[in-house]
Amino acid sequence: MQIAQNSVVAFHYTLTNDAGEVLDSSEGREPLAYLHGAGNIVPGLEKELAGRESGEKLQVTVTPEEGYGENQPGLIQEVPIESFQGVDDVQPGMQFQAQTQGGPLMVTVTQVEGDTVTVDGNHPLAGQTLNFDVEITEVREASQEELEHGHVHGAGGVEH
């Protein structure tokens, strides 16, 4: 069966940056499973998997535009440390959910200087080219429930 709209796909992957550093991998874990066409993975990878079959291995390069987007300077802000009520020791690398006019946004603390905290709302991989080594392990039709929920259930997916 070929990968097409509304098929369930399971695959192993290794994600590296342009310097060859491993950013993520499914090695030692279950394959990642997703519902094709539901926006569950980055668009550039999903586009390259279309039409492929179980057992295929491929290398895919995804540009920032088809990955996590370009870095947006407007998502980097300085906020007063008082904004972090209940957190005793705010440190770089900590992540928080901020409430914005556009809804909730995950932000990462990048710097703490005195009473000022710099947070970044960009995805950590924004602006980066993503290099995937992929091995497709399964392609099947999605169940009606998976289609209704917009994601895969069971192994590699969501358990309800």
- The model's pTM is 0.82
CATH code assigned to 7-68+126-149: 3.10.50.40
- Tens digit of each residue's pLDDT (9 = 90 or more) over 147-157: 999 999 876 56
CATH of 73-120, one of 3.40.50.300, 2.40.180.10, 3.40.50.720, 2.40.10.330: 2.40.10.330
| End-to-end C-alpha distance for the chain, whole angstroms | 27
Maximum alpha-carbon separation in the chain: 58
The string of DSSP letters for 20-40 reads --EEEE-TTSPPEEEETTTT-
Q: Is 69 helix (H, G, I), strand (E, B) or coil?
A: coil
Question: Where are the CATH 3.10.50.40 domain residues in the chain?
Answer: 7-68+126-149
**CATH 2.40.10.330 region(s) of the chain?**
73-120
- Specify the pLDDT at position 102: 84
- Decide: helix, strand or coil at residue 145: helix
Above 80 in pLDDT, residue 30?
yes
